[in-house]
Amino acid sequence: MRIFVVNVLLAMFVIAAVCPTAAVAKEPTKRKTKNTVESKFKTLDTDSSGDISLDEFCGKKKGSARTRAEKLFGRYDTDQSESLSLDEFKAKGKKSKAKKKSDD
């Protein structure tokens, strides 16, 4: 019985040394989120200027949907440049996530 337990423990140590997946598994998730924000930014930046204009942000929205989008754009445009930089766009996402957490 002791030999069986020792073999099981030895196997667990070997597997842990060869396959440390717990630490590696978290890293791709962070990159995926980062890439998603950046890819969304690039999608909205239709003229590839490096900034998102109000028209690019609102897209084809009309009526009340456009009005809501314009208000959001105004909140996220912290430097009042009438365009969103990647940093402002990223900060927008962080504020939205923080608000969702505080609502929970």
CATH, domain 28-103, list 3.10.310.30, 1.10.3720.10, 1.10.238.10, 3.40.630.20: 1.10.238.10
Q: How far is CA 25 from CA 10, 19, 21, 28, 29, in A?
A: 24, 11, 6, 6, 7
Q: Which two tokens stand for residue 73?
A: 């754009």
Q: Where in the chain are the domains? A: 28-103
| 27, pLDDT greater than 50 | yes
Q: What is the per-residue pLDDT across 68-103, written as a single tens digit (0 to 9) for each?
A: 999 999 999 999 999 999 999 888 766 555 554 554
Least confident of 28-32, 35-39, 84-88: 28-32
pTM value is: 0.57
Instruction: Tell me the pLDDT band of 23, cut-offs 50, 70 and 90.
Output: very low
